[in-house]
A and B are shown apart, each in its own frame.
Chain A
Amino acid sequence: MKPTDPQIVWLEEKPLGLAERLYLPLFVQGLATTARHMVSPKVTVSFPDERPTVGNPLIYRGVHRLNKDEQGRVQCVACFLCATACPAHCIDIVAAESPWPDREKYPESFQIDELRCIFCGMCEEACPVDAIELTSLLDLTGRSREEMIFDKEKLLSVYDITKDAEPMKSAGHTTASATGGHAP
C-alpha cells in the first residue's frame, strides 16, 4: 500500500486543551485509577501452585506450533517470511523441493530458538498460509539450551497437543494461492 493510497486516512494529533495543559485534572485521574486498583480484587496468581486462566487462547502468545494440513503434512511452504519478520532472529529454516506433487517447496528443517524468541507474534502475522501459530501453552521449561531449540517434529507435536482445544485460526477459510497449492 502506497502512502498516497486513497484508502489511507491520515490523522493529526489534536492540540492540547486547557484541562490537559493545567495538568491537575490528569493528576487526579491517575490517583483515582490507583485508588480503584487498591480496592478491586487482585489478579495475580501464585504460579506454579495456581494456574492462571488464559482469557482468549486464540490471541494468547505462547509456545509456537506448526500446523498440519488435512493429510497430516506440514502446512509450511518454507517462504521464510516468518524468519524475515522475526525481530529476534530465532527462526532457522532450510528449504527444499517438496516430495509432494501439489506443492513446490517445503521446510526440510524448521527450528525455533524458544529462548531467543520474544513472543511478539510477528511470525504468525507474516505467514501467508497460516502454518505457524502461537498457542496458549505458557509454561515453557527445559533442562538445557539445546532442548529449548524446537525442531520441526517438536513444533508439529505441539499442534497435535493443542489442535482440539485451539483449532487452526483460519479453519473454514480458504487460503489464497500463496501456497502454490492445488487448483480446485
Chain B
Amino acid sequence: MPTVIVDGREIEIGAHERLNCIEAARRAGTEIPHYCWHPGLSVVASCRMCLVETGSRDAATGKITMVPKLVPGCQTPAKDGTVIVTDSPLVRESRARVEEALLIDHPIDCPICDKAGECLLQDYHFQHGQPQRRADLQPFHSRRRDVGPTVTLFVDRCIMCTRCVRFTREVSGTAELMVTSRGAKEEIDSFPGFPLDNKLAGNVVDLCPVGALGDKDFLYQQRVWFLKREANVCGGCATGCSIVTEHNQDTVYRLKPRENPHVNRWWMCDDGRYGWHHLHDPARVAEVTRRAPGGESAVDWPDVVSRLRADLAAAGGLAVAVSPMLTVEEAWMLATVAREIDPSALLALGPVPHSGTDETYPGGFTIRAEKCPNRRGVEAVLAHFGPGISRWDDLLDHVRSGRAKAVWITAAYPAPWIDAAAAAPFAGVSCLVVQDLFASPLSELDGGGAVRWRLPAVGFAERAGTWVNAGHRAQCFEQAIRPPAGVWPEGRLLWNMLGRRGLYDPAVIRAEIAAAVPALAVLGDDLPATGLDLRILQLAATESATHT
C-alpha cells in the first residue's frame, strides 16, 4: 500500500486512489486551508492558500528530499513516499501573507454580510491570519449587481477563486459566468444577455467561500448562526437529493445540499432548493373536519383515531390510495390499518406526478420528471401486501364499479394534483377520506348524504422515515421542524390507529418491515448517512452464487 507522510505521521492510501495533498492530509486529520479547490470541480491552484512543503522519501534508502519551494496542495498528487509538511514556519508565514493580500481589497462589512459565520475568509483569517492589519482601513461598501434571477453578486467581496465560473462550465454546462478584466481589476460577471438562469444556479452560492454570491431567497432573512441544521432528503423529485434543512423556530429558511457521492454529489437543483415555501403557506389544511348529514364539525385528533376507523368500517368495501410522498414506514402502517379494517381492502399506489422529462447535466446531476420521492418504496410495501401492485386507475375502476364504498386517499402533494373532473367519480362513495396539504376539488367534494373527512398532511421537513429514490437507494431521515400547530403527521395518526403506545418511532416500524419484507431487509440496520442500495443484499447473493 502506498504510504504518505503528513507532518511526520505515516498514513496508507489505496493502491489506485488518486488523491491530492489536501485529501491525503485530511485522511491524516490535518486540514489544509483552501479556497479555489473543490472536490467536484477542476483544479486551478489560483488562491495559493493551500501552499505546503512537499518532498519525497526514497523507498530504498529512506532518505527524504524536500522541494525547495512551496507547492499548492490541491495540484500536487500524493503518491507513495510523498512527504507533506503543513505547519512549518514557512507555510504559516505564506498563509498569513495570502490572508493579508486578500483582505487589502475586501470590505470589512461582516456585520451586514450574509456569509458571516460560515465564511472561509473569516475562519481562515482567525486561524491563519495575523492579528494586526497593516493596510489602511478604507470604509466602503460592496458594489452589488444581479447575475441572475435568483443570485446576486457583491462584487468587492469576491476573492476570485472562480469556483462559480468553473461550476457553470463543468457541472451545469451553461457557462453563463466569466471573469472580466484582469489583475487587480478582475471581476466575476455574467456574459451580456446570458443571465445565470439555469436550474442548478443556486449551487454557486453554496460554492462561494465568501459572501460574494448571495441567494436572493435567503438574503437578509436570518443570520446563519441562528439556524439549526437537520439532515433531510429532498422530496421534490425521484432523485431524492441528500440535503440539510436549515431552520429556526419551526420555520425553514433554506435548504442546502449534503454531500452524497451516490445520489447528488455536492449539488441540488433550484426546484428543490426553493421547494420548501409550501410548508409555510397559510392556506394549508390545519384541522380535521368531518362532514356528515348532520353538518360539518371539527374533530379533535384523539377522536379521529376511533371515529375514522368506525366510519371506514361501517361503509364496507375499502380502497386506499397510498401516496408516493409517504415514507416507507407510513405506507406500511397505512396498509396494515387498511387490511385490519377490511381484509380485502384495495391498496393502490397514489397518482405519481410527472413534469417534463428527466434533465441530466454534464456534471452527472439529474433532475427527474417523476416529482415524488418514494414511488419505489411504496411499491415495495404494496407488493408485499398484494395482490400485485394496484395503480390509481385500478382504484378508479373500483370506485366506478361501486366495489369501493369507502375510499381513503393520502396525497400530501405540494402542487395541485386533481381537478374537478377527475374528482367527480368519487361523488358516489359513502365515506371519503382525503388527507392532503391543501384543499382540492376532491377534499371539497359535495357529500350529499355521505361522510366526508378532510385531514391535514405534512410536508417533507415535517416527516421522519425512509424514502427510496429512483436509484433504489433507501435514505432515512429525521423530522426537522414541527408541523403547524394542531397537525398530526401521518405517521403519528397511523401509529395511534394501530393501537401502539407512546410516541411514533419510525425505527420500530422499520425493524418490523425489515423482518417481514425480504426486498426491504436492509432497513433492519442503521443506514449510513448516504443511504443504502436496496439491491445490495440481492447483489451480494448473486455475487456469491457466481463465485461458488
Chain A residues with CB under 8 Å of chain B are 1-2, 5, 7, 77-81, 84, 95-97, 102-105, 128-129, 174-184
B191 close to A (CB within 8 Å):
no
Nearest chain A residue, comparing its CB with the CB of B216: A97
Of the stretches B138-146, B278-286, B434-442, the one at the interface is B138-146
B108 close to A (CB within 8 Å):
yes
Task: Evaluate whether A184 and B220 lie within 8 angstroms (CB atoms) in the complex, with A77-B111, A77-B112, A178-B109 already known.
Answer: no
Residues of B close to A95: CB separation below 8 A: 220-221
Residues of A close to B126: CB separation below 8 A: 2
Task: Evaluate whether A81 and B220 lie within 8 angstroms (CB atoms) in the complex, with A104-B144, A180-B142 already known.
Answer: no
Task: Evaluate whether A180 and B220 lie within 8 angstroms (CB atoms) in the complex, with A84-B225, A103-B141, A104-B144 already known.
Answer: no
Residues of A close to B131: CB separation below 8 A: 1-2, 5, 7
Closest CB in chain A relative to B99 CB, distance in Å: 14
Q: Say which residue of A1, A2, A105, A180 sits within 8 Å of B107 (CB atoms).
A: A180
B137 close to A (CB within 8 Å):
yes
Query: What separation, in Å, do the CA atoms of A184 and B137 have in the docked complex?
Result: 12
* Cβ contacts B218-256/A at 8 Å (1 or 0 each): 011101011000000000000000000000000000000
B110 close to A (CB within 8 Å):
yes
Task: Evaluate whether A79 and B111 lie within 8 angstroms (CB atoms) in the complex, with A1-B131, A97-B219 already known.
Answer: yes
Task: Evaluate whether A177 and B139 lie within 8 angstroms (CB atoms) in the complex, with A77-B112, A84-B225, A128-B111 already known.
Answer: yes
Closest CB in chain B relative to A39 CB, distance in Å: 52
Question: In the complex, are the beta carbons of A105 and B220 less than 8 A apart?
Answer: yes
Query: What separation, in Å, do the CA atoms of A81 and B223 have in the docked complex?
Result: 9
Residues of A close to B140: CB separation below 8 A: 177, 183
Q: Given A78-B112, A79-B112, A177-B138, output 16 extra A-B contacts at Cβ < 8 Å.
A: A78-B220, A79-B111, A95-B220, A104-B112, A104-B144, A105-B112, A176-B108, A176-B137, A178-B109, A178-B112, A179-B141, A180-B109, A181-B139, A182-B139, A182-B141, A183-B138
Residues of A close to B137: CB separation below 8 A: 176-177
Nearest chain B residue, comparing its CB with the CB of A127: B111
* Cβ contacts B121-150/A at 8 Å (1 or 0 each): 000001000010000011111101000000
Query: What separation, in Å, do the CA atoms of A129 and B108 have in the docked complex?
Result: 13
Question: In the complex, are the beta carbons of B139 and A176 less than 8 A apart?
Answer: yes
24 A-B contacts, Cβ less than 8 Å apart?
A77-B112, A78-B112, A80-B223, A81-B111, A84-B226, A95-B220, A97-B220, A102-B141, A104-B109, A104-B112, A104-B142, A128-B111, A174-B139, A176-B139, A177-B108, A178-B108, A178-B110, A179-B139, A180-B112, A180-B141, A180-B142, A181-B141, A182-B141, A183-B139
Closest CB in chain A relative to B92 CB, distance in Å: 12
Closest CB in chain A relative to B93 CB, distance in Å: 16
User: How big is chain B's contact interface, by range?
Assistant: 20 to 34
Query: What separation, in Å, do the CA atoms of A5 and B129 have in the docked complex?
Result: 12
The 6 A-B pairs with the shortest beta carbon distances in the complex, nearest first, are A177-B139, A79-B111, A180-B141, A95-B220, A183-B140, A180-B109
Nearest chain A residue, comparing its CB with the CB of B116: A79
Query: What separation, in Å, do the CA atoms of A79 and B137 have in the docked complex?
Result: 20
Q: Among the interface residues B109, B137, B142, B223, which one has the most CB atoms of the partner chain A within 10 A? A: B109
Nearest chain A residue, comparing its CB with the CB of B154: A104
Query: What separation, in Å, do the CA atoms of A183 and B223 have in the docked complex?
Result: 26
Nearest chain A residue, comparing its CB with the CB of B219: A97
Residues of B close to A5: CB separation below 8 A: 131
Query: What separation, in Å, do the CA atoms of A73 and B543 have in the docked complex?
Result: 73
Residues of B close to A105: CB separation below 8 A: 112, 220
Residues of B close to A103: CB separation below 8 A: 141
Residues of B close to A84: CB separation below 8 A: 223, 225-226
Query: What separation, in Å, do the CA atoms of A102 and B138 have in the docked complex?
Result: 15
Query: What separation, in Å, do the CA atoms of A83 and B170 have in the docked complex?
Result: 41
Nearest chain A residue, comparing its CB with the CB of B126: A2
Residues of B close to A181: CB separation below 8 A: 139, 141
Residues of B close to A1: CB separation below 8 A: 131
Question: In the complex, are the beta carbons of A178 and B111 less than 8 A apart?
Answer: yes
Residues of A close to B141: CB separation below 8 A: 102-104, 177, 179-183
Question: In the complex, are the beta carbons of B223 and A177 less than 8 A apart?
Answer: no
Nearest chain B residue, comparing its CB with the CB of A101: B141
Nearest chain B residue, comparing its CB with the CB of A180: B141
Query: What separation, in Å, do the CA atoms of A176 and B112 have in the docked complex?
Result: 13
Q: Among the interface residues B137, B141, B144, B225, which one has the most CB atoms of the partner chain A within 10 A? A: B141
Query: What separation, in Å, do the CA atoms of A84 and B107 have in the docked complex?
Result: 22
Residues of A close to B139: CB separation below 8 A: 174-177, 179, 181-184
Query: What separation, in Å, do the CA atoms of A78 and B131 have in the docked complex?
Result: 27
Residues of B close to A128: CB separation below 8 A: 111
Query: What separation, in Å, do the CA atoms of A104 and B220 have in the docked complex?
Result: 10
Query: What separation, in Å, do the CA atoms of A5 and B132 have in the docked complex?
Result: 11
Query: What separation, in Å, do the CA atoms of A179 and B108 have in the docked complex?
Result: 9
Closest CB in chain A relative to B134 CB, distance in Å: 16
Nearest chain A residue, comparing its CB with the CB of B117: A84
Residues of A close to B226: CB separation below 8 A: 80, 84
Query: What separation, in Å, do the CA atoms of A140 and B226 have in the docked complex?
Result: 30
Closest CB in chain B relative to A178 CB, distance in Å: 5
Query: What separation, in Å, do the CA atoms of A79 and B116 have in the docked complex?
Result: 10
Query: What separation, in Å, do the CA atoms of A103 and B142 have in the docked complex?
Result: 10
Residues of A close to B111: CB separation below 8 A: 77, 79, 81, 128-129, 178
Residues of A close to B220: CB separation below 8 A: 78, 95-97, 105
